[in-house]
Chains A and B, each alone.
Chain A
Amino acid sequence: MGRGAEPGMVLEIEDLCVELSIEGRWVRAVDHVSLSIRRGEVLGLVGESGSGKSLTALSIPRLLPDNGRIVSGAVRLLGEDVRGQSEQAMNRLRARSVAMIFQNPTTYLNPVLRVGAQIAEAFEVNPDLLDGPASPRGISAREARRRAWRKSIEYLRLVQIPDAERVARQYPFELSGGMQQRVVIAMALARQPDLVIADEITTALDVTVQAQILGLLSELRRATGMTLLLITHDMGIVAQLADRVAVMYSGSIVECADVRSLFRQPRHPYAKALLETVPVIRGNRTVFRPIPGTMPPLTDPPGGCRFHPRCPDVLARCAGVKPDSVHLEPGHMVACHLYGAR
């Protein structure tokens, strides 16, 4: 166990800063982000494009793009900081502890490999995941392959793919987008990871298929107790799945609270405004309110609080001083001068 590890914490990110090289200049894209996830918890990380939510997630398995770097902070996975790890140790973590699921399943499926074989890869890398009478290492290669295939089919069933035996023998192009995304989820779960990171996984799907995948995730959660970092721009999805929510704006978490408090009583002006931009049907009408202006470019962020040029409640010091995070009550954090006790 590393420094500062709390029991039951799967992930602790502390003061993470990530920079991106844009037009030959390093700009701050993630700015002192801290968050944590307990075992079995679903944390929703919401924000608009460019808010830094995906970069925060990619820092966990250290898979930042070539023009990105972690400049400071700690990312502790099961108590160990991923920053000090060798590439070999990282590969072990990526294979066993963290699973990532992305928006576009076709990109992450091998087009020339049967679906069942792609899931079975998890058991080749880690034979301990196979169950059976003899110890997995003691069985013949053929027997191991047979068990791995059977286990793949079990996972296809777990993600509610009908006719799993047949689908296991199919290639990705033979499956619809929704089915492909189920396969990717099965591949992730087959490794029995400590943490699953889901980045906009239903954005490319149709609404009715999205509803099916969201239903599947809630059921998998009940069945397997998975720990999930759910990244999305859709407040509806967060409301449906998350236990806690962190709202990001221009590289910083501006508010973090349990899902009910955040939706009932958002405190940060951006969190409030973001909730109001989502059109909802109320009785006979739909209501929503736009946020004026746009998110500042990373290359030229405003000083102080980055939301201040768009904020309806802006104070004099907002332009000059970046607000500290304040805990309004246990588990409810907000970074805004309106609540700055100190």
Chain B
Amino acid sequence: MSGPPLLDVTCLTKHFPVRTGFLGRATSQVRAVDGLGFQIEAGQTFGLVGESGCGKTTIAMLLVKLLEPTAGHIRFDGGETSGLGRQAMKEFRRQVQIVFQDPHGSLDPRQSMLSALIEPLRTLGIAADRASAADRAREALELVGLGPEILRRLPHELSGGQRQRVAIARSMAVAPRFMVLDEPTSSVDVSIQAQILSLLADLKRRRALTYLLISHNLVVVRHMSDVVAVMYLGKIVERADAATLFTEPLHPYSAALIRAIPVPDPDATVSAALVRGDVASPVRVPSGCRYHPRCPFAESVCRDVEPPLAELAPGRHVACHFPGVARDSPS
């Protein structure tokens, strides 16, 4: 590892007030992201997995500054990202881009693809005039494997896979260094998913990009990532390099997630689910270890004491009182 990480997140916290009643007073907090810390090295793909409500998307929004954190720091390329001036903010937006899950929602239904692709180039002051912006738009489309005939079309005239490619092209057009990919394939079919994943891997190689990949699909994360963090209710419960995490998960929740993937093999032994019930509400976060109500291995200490994210081996972080406990459970 050389130099400082491209992205350095410390104690990142985002709470949303829950307002109820006539006066709209904040009666409680949704603890969407609760004291998160991680680093992403330049050139890495950092995978973030977890179920709905674990705070994945809030992190994405915080990292690209669509939301302001309640507390904590995000440093990009050595510089603090809060309190940026107008010009610095433009530069930040040029370097950090995001691709959302649903390209339907991120494309204006009445805007042609040409205009959708040109807009960021113009607002960020990257292309001097419309003609050079249009050239860049065409280049970006080519990069994602689409022809210039797409430029005149409206979103509804494209397939889901094409729309997602356009969304990727729009991010790529400004030549970013860091991309946040928030569930980039969960709204497309499996054959299209495979195409998009190959495209993203290819772009990363060609453009020396750094990715933060957010997904609930573990196999996708495993395939794309160098380092993986597993989130549960606003906290990272385990972080390790991808191969290690998937072959030897130490947190019972990671083990449960991995075991829950349906394997496309009729002779695979189907093991009992390693987890009880549903994800708890981030408004009423359980005491102690947040996972304890669902954990089949929980003991009384888990109810009372929150385990810290401890480094058990170099690069291997786990927040559990009994790391590796799921390993010995019968499958």
Contact = CB atoms under 8 A, between A and B. Distances in A.
Interface stretch (A14-22, A87-95, A117-125, A231-239): A231-239
A84 to B, nearest CB: 36
Contact of A207 (B189, B218, B266, B272): B218
Interface residues of A, number: 44
A204 to B, nearest CB: 10
Contacts of A288: 194, 197, 223
A259 B266 contact: yes
B260 A240 contact: no
B246 A179 contact: no
A272 interface: no
Contacts of B160: 49
Given A208-B273, A215-B272, A288-B223, A277 B264 contact: no
A170 interface: no
Contact of A263 (B256, B264, B273, B274): B264
A237 to B, nearest CB: 5
Contacts of A237: 262
Interface in B266-314: 266-268, 270, 272-275, 277-279, 294
What interface size band does chain B fall in? 35 or more
A239 B223 contact: no
B260 A263 contact: no
B260 A211 contact: yes
A48 B216 contact: no
Contacts of B189: 48-49, 233, 295
B216 A206 contact: yes
Contacts of A234: 190, 262
Contacts, number: 125
B156 to A, nearest CB: 12
Contact of B161 (A235, A280, A294): A294
Contacts of B277: 176, 178
A209 B162 CA distance: 31
A206 B270 contact: no
Nearest to B247: A284
A206 B51 contact: yes
Nearest to A236: B262
Interface string B165-208: 00000000000000000000000011111110110000000000
A273 interface: yes
B20 to A, nearest CB: 16
Interface of A: 48-49, 176-179, 206-212, 214-215, 218, 233-240, 259-260, 263, 273-275, 277-281, 284, 286, 288-292, 294-295
Interface of B: 51-52, 159-162, 189-195, 197-198, 216-220, 222-223, 243, 246-247, 256-257, 259-268, 270, 272-275, 277-279, 294
24 contacts: A48-B189, A48-B192, A177-B278, A179-B278, A207-B51, A207-B260, A208-B256, A208-B275, A209-B51, A212-B273, A212-B275, A214-B262, A238-B264, A239-B262, A239-B265, A274-B191, A275-B264, A277-B193, A278-B190, A279-B219, A286-B219, A290-B197, A291-B195, A294-B159
